[in-house]
Amino acid sequence: MRRRVFLGILGCAVTWPIALQAQSAERVRVLGILNILGPDDPEAKARTTVFEQTLQQLGWVVGRDLKIETREVGGDLDHLRPYAAELVALAPDVILSIGTSSIGPLQQATRTIPIVFMNVSDPVGAGVVPNMAHPGGNTTGFSNFEYSMGGKWVELLKQIAPHATRALVLRDASTAGGIGQFAAVRSAAQTLDIELTPVSAREADEIEQNVAAFARSGNGGVIVTSAGGTATHRKLIISLVARYKLPAVYPYRYYAVDGGLIAYGPNSYEQVRRAAGYVDRILKGEKPADLPVQAPNKYELIINLKTAKAIGLTIPQSLLATADDVIE
Which CATH code fits 149-266+300-327? 3.40.50.2300
Which CATH code fits 28-144+268-297? 3.40.50.2300
In whole angstroms, how far apart are CA 108 and each of 51, 67, 68, 200? 25, 24, 21, 24
- Comparing 94 with 6, the larger pLDDT belongs to 94
227, exposed or middle or buried, with CB in 10 Å at 0-12, 13-18, 19+?
buried
Total number of residues shown for the chain: 328
Q: What is the pLDDT of residues 47-71, one digit of tens each?
A: 999 999 999 999 999 999 999 999 9
| Helical pair 204-215 and 234-243, crossing angle rounded to 10 deg | 20
pLDDT at 99: 86
Segments of the chain assigned to CATH 3.40.50.2300: 28-144+268-297, 149-266+300-327
Say how many C-beta atoms besides its own lie within 10 A of residue 136's C-beta. Answer: 13
pLDDT at 261: 98
d(CA 280, CA 177): 28
d(CA 170, CA 119): 17
d(CA 172, CA 206): 13
168 touches 139 (CB < 8 A): no
Share of the chain above pLDDT 70, in %: 91
The percent of the chain in helix, strand and coil, each rounded to the nearest 5, is: 45, 20, 35
Q: Is the per-residue pLDDT at 123 higher than 50?
A: yes
Label residue 101 by pLDDT band (50, 70, 90).
confident
Q: Is the per-residue pLDDT at 308 higher than 70?
A: yes
pLDDT at 20: 38
List CB contacts of 294: < 8 A, sequence separation 6 or more.
Answer: 132, 141, 142, 143, 274
Task: Provide the pairing of β-strand 299-304 with 262-266.
Answer: antiparallel
Q: Which range is least confidently modeled, 4-8, 87-91, 95-99, 273-277?
A: 4-8
